[in-house]
């Protein structure tokens, strides 16, 4: 019996709010006191002793005026200088992503200054992936050509449910037109295109929106909301008639040639994520799924998140405090973060296994902890509903469980369960 025939009671049980687990613990559960720059740099240097491979995420704020861009990019390069002086080894770049939530791009010349400044401060790995988030209304052909000249090959666009209403508003129609135009321009320059769906799982977009997305044929479709939303009473009659809208959306995307990847990605057959998923090399970082694994993630700019493997940090959200910390105080602008305990590191490993491999095992004593013991009881209940298969010291997620990967990870999450009491 396929996932679409799960009883409604089971559907309601497993469609629940859950973290995306691009980090564990998720940000709301990080420690109240952030790691100090000394602790963060020590964690990075320990990690780099095994490999210099580094992913770099640069946040460009959405609300920056053009005249403020140059001082901001200067601060970003100064922040990178702080890292370069403190790290024992020179970073070897495997991934570079310009993001920050549909950022307002600087001029093409300012982009070149920023990118060239970064590339002169790092080494490049043999295999690299350069990507960026685009704001369709403000991303020009000149921006795309400039980024392509520096090796950028993937463009991300955040897409809203333009056709949720019977008659889209003029603003929605203009936004949809801009997305289509930017997609076609980028494709002509050789970019792979990724659509990030802003308001929930692909299945919860209007069918007309999903068909419009499939017609534009992005290489990837990503859910960027915070997991599956919980059913509300007005939704239930529609769901009873439709049995399971999640199944409907997945079926539509699969019929259009998309392959489900992990918990929240869909990709066309020739996408590197599909090959990585089939080959067992898929990885999940603070930036989502990737086919190129980095030892650590350095993050530059406001609100950017870094990851050393056992420590997370996030920068100041506001531009003025961020610039003051870097330029005036000469320190890393860390605002919050988390140092993982030994048990949290075990849980993180199991969560990554489930999200990237669809299975995990804990036969070795060093892979066991109290969270795993609690999780086994809840996984046994999921096995009864056919979401996964249980065997001694192991679970394997089945086809019926794949739409619920975030929920299957929840039994491991001590922080989630602490909130339930």
CA distance 104 to 62: 5
Is residue 365 domain-shared with residue 324, that is, in the same domain?
A: no
Q: Region 416-420: what's the mean pLDDT?
A: 87
Q: Given a cut of 50, is residue 112 above it in pLDDT?
A: yes
**Would you say residue 411 lies in a domain?**
yes
Is residue 332 domain-shared with residue 309, that is, in the same domain?
A: yes
**Which of 29, 54, 80 shows the shortest CA–CA distance to 300?**
80
How much is the pLDDT for 170?
Answer: 61
**Would you say residue 53 lies in a domain?**
yes
Is residue 325 domain-shared with residue 379, that is, in the same domain?
A: no
The CATH code of the domain that includes 359 is 1.10.10.920
Q: Are 14 and 255 in contact (CB under 8 A)?
A: no
Is residue 246 domain-shared with residue 352, that is, in the same domain?
A: no
How much is the pLDDT for 175?
Answer: 85
The mean predicted confidence, pLDDT, of the chain is: 87
CA distance 336 to 316: 8
Is residue 376 domain-shared with residue 255, that is, in the same domain?
A: no
Q: Given a cut of 80, is residue 126 above it in pLDDT?
A: yes
Question: Of all residues in the chain, what percent carry a pLDDT higher than 90?
Answer: 71
**Would you say residue 244 lies in a domain?**
yes
> Position of tokens 């059913």?
231
Q: Is the peptide bond before 25 cis (omega within 30 degrees of 0)?
A: yes
**Would you say residue 12 lies in a domain?**
no
Q: pLDDT (tens digit, 9 = 90+) per residue, 184-196?
A: 999 999 999 999 9
Is residue 38 domain-shared with residue 137, that is, in the same domain?
A: yes
| DSSP string covering 271-337 | SHHHHHHHHT--EEETTEEESS--SEEEEESTT-EEE-SSEEEEE-SSHHHHHIIIIIS-S--EEEE
**Would you say residue 159 lies in a domain?**
yes
Q: Are 312 and 30 in contact (CB under 8 A)?
A: yes
CA distance 413 to 421: 14
Q: In what order do the strands lie in the sheet with 359-361?
A: 359-361, 394-397, 388-391
Positive or negative torsion for Cα 351, 306, 280, 246: positive
Is residue 320 domain-shared with residue 374, that is, in the same domain?
A: no
CA distance 107 to 97: 17
Q: Given a cut of 60, is residue 405 above it in pLDDT?
A: yes
Q: How many domains does the chain have?
A: 2
Is residue 77 domain-shared with residue 213, that is, in the same domain?
A: yes
Is residue 323 domain-shared with residue 379, that is, in the same domain?
A: no
Among 301, 323, 339, residue at a domain's last position: 339
Least confident of 153-157, 173-177, 304-308: 173-177
Among 290, 322, 339, residue at a domain's last position: 339
How much is the pLDDT for 420?
Answer: 81
Least confident of 169-178, 273-282, 289-298: 169-178
pLDDT band at 16 (very low <50, low <70, confident <90, very high): confident
Positive or negative torsion for Cα 224, 216, 141, 266: positive
Q: Region 150-158: what's the mean pLDDT?
A: 95
How much is the pLDDT for 411?
Answer: 96
How much is the pLDDT for 165?
Answer: 60
Tokens coding 396: 């394997």
Tokens coding 171: 């603003």
**Would you say residue 27 lies in a domain?**
yes
**Which of 211, 197, 212, 282 shows the shortest CA–CA distance to 251?**
211
Is residue 390 domain-shared with residue 331, that is, in the same domain?
A: no
Range of the domain at 112: 22-339
Q: pLDDT (tens digit, 9 = 90+) per residue, 29-71?
A: 999 999 999 999 999 999 999 999 999 999 998 765 555 677 8
Is residue 289 domain-shared with residue 361, that is, in the same domain?
A: no
Q: Region 286-295: what's the mean pLDDT?
A: 93
Is residue 126 domain-shared with residue 89, that is, in the same domain?
A: yes
**Would you say residue 2 lies in a domain?**
no
> Position of tokens 């898929």?
282
Among 307, 339, 371, residue at a domain's last position: 339
**Would you say residue 8 lies in a domain?**
no
Backbone angles phi, psi at 44, to 5 degrees: -65, -45
Least confident of 141-150, 157-166, 207-216, 410-419: 157-166
In terms of pTM, does the model score above 0.85? yes
Q: Are 164 and 199 in contact (CB under 8 A)?
A: no
Q: pLDDT (tens digit, 9 = 90+) per residue, 253-265?
A: 999 999 999 988 9
């Amino acid at each position: 019996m396929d996932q679409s025939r799960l009883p409604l009671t089971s559907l309601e049980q497993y469609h629940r709010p859950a973290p995306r687990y691009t980090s564990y613990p998720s940000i709301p559960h990080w420690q109240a006191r952030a790691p100090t720059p000394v602790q963060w740099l020590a964690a990075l240097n320990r990690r780099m002793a095994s490999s210099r491979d580094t992913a770099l995420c640069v946040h460009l704020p959405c609300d920056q005026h053009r005249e403020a861009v140059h001082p901001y990019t200067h601060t970003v390069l100064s922040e990178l200088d702080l890292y370069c002086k403190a790290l024992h080894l020179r970073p070897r770049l495997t991934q570079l992503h310009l993001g920050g939530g549909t950022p307002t791009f600087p001029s093409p010349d300012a982009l070149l200054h920023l990118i060239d400044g970064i590339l002169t401060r790092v080494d490049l790995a043999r295999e690299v992936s350069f990507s960026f988030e685009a704001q369709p209304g403000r991303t020009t052909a000149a921006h795309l050509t400039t980024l392509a000249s520096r090796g950028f090959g993937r463009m991300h666009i955040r897409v809203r449910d333009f056709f949720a209403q019977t008659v889209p508003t003029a603003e929605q129609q203009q936004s949809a037109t801009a997305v289509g135009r930017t997609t076609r321009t980028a494709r002509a320059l050789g970019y792979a295109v990724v659509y990030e769906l802003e308001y929930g799982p692909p299945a919860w977009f209007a069918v007309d929106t999903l068909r419009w997305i499939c017609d534009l044929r992005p290489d990837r479709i990503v859910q960027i909301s915070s997991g599956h939303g919980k059913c509300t009473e007005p939704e239930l009659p529609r769901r009873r008639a439709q049995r399971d809208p999640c199944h409907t959306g997945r079926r539509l995307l699969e019929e259009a040639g998309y392959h489900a990847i992990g918990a929240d990605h869909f990709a066309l057959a020739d996408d590197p994520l599909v090959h990585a998923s089939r080959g067992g090399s898929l990885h999940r970082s603070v930036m989502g799924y990737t086919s190129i694994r980095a030892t650590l993630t350095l993050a530059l700019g406001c609100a950017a998140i870094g990851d050393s493997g056992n420590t997370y940090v996030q920068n100041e959200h506001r531009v003025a405090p961020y610039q003051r910390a870097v330029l005036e105080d000469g320190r890393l602008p860390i605002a919050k973060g988390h140092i993982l305990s030994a048990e949290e590191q075990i849980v993180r490993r199991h969560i990554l296994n489930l999200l990237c491999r669809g299975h995990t095992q804990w036969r070795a004593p060093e892979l066991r902890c109290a969270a795993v013991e609690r999780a086994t009881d809840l996984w046994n209940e999921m096995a009864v509903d056919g979401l996964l298969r249980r065997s001694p010291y192991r679970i394997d997620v089945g086809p019926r469980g794949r739409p619920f990967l975030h929920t299957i990870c929840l039994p491991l999450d001590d922080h989630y369960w602490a909130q339930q009491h």
